[in-house]
Chains A and B, each alone.
Chain A
Amino acid sequence: MPRPKHRSRSFRKVFRKVPGGRTVLHLQKQKPKMAHCAQCGAVLKGMLRKRASLLRNVSKTKKRVSRPYGGNLCSRCMRLKMVEKARV
């Protein structure tokens, strides 16, 4: 019987092979959604898809792309924004 707190659909089931040879069911929290562009909603590339608590120890370069608006806008939307700024 799983623990009462694990009796929920919010946990995903992961089968792990333990050193003893058995396969054990681990219950983990669900992965967060992929990061999306704030303007067009496209999936952002180069972003880690992990829970915030795990991202705390990850370097900044692994969490976002190194360009203005990196990690917030996709490259296409960023370009449009830059063109707008240059024309104004």
Chain B
Amino acid sequence: MMDVGRVCVKIAGRDAGGKCVVVDVLDNHYVLIDGQVRRRKCNVAHLEPTAEMIKIRKNAAHGTIVEEFKKMGIEIPERKSKPKTERPKKAHGQGKKEKKAAAEKPKKTKKAVKEEGIESKVGAKTEEAPAKAGKKNK
């Protein structure tokens, strides 16, 4: 019953209800299937054979099976596999610390504050001094 080209309906798992075709017979219990389901090894007990047969070669490619299903009036949408993205490697809890550090502004130490104050005062004096000198010269 389970020969290459036999159209079946998958009756178990997340692909249940999808039509598929036997692509290869692996042993007494397992076959390779493809069609409205993911191409995979499948237990014969999880398939319900129908009267339909498709003429395909053993281990036929997915494209040929899609064409054959089209002739039967069943469209199989293309499955696009997502490109794998690498996860950023982080030690446990490291990410949080980094975020905190970025969010916090650099704190001003007392010394830095004092120095800034002195510099501003000195700068003001130096600016004023030449002006005064200019007045005296006049």
Could you tell me which A residues sit within 8 Å of B by CB distance? 66-68, 75, 78-79, 82-83, 85-87
Stretch from B5-13, B113-121, B130-138 forming part of the interface with A: B5-13
Residue of A nearest to B8 (CB): A86
Residue of B nearest to A83 (CB): B48
Say whether chain B's binding surface is mostly helix, strand, loop, or mixed. Answer: loop
Could you tell me which B residues sit within 8 Å of A by CB distance? 8-14, 16-17, 48, 50
Q: Is B48 within 8 A of A82, CB to CB?
A: yes
Q: Is A86 within 8 A of B16, CB to CB?
A: no
Residue of A nearest to B7 (CB): A86
Q: Is B14 within 8 A of A86, CB to CB?
A: no
CA A82 to CA B17, docked complex, whole Å: 6
In the complex, what's the smallest C-beta–C-beta distance from B51 to chain A, in angstroms? 10
Q: Is A68 within 8 A of B50, CB to CB?
A: no
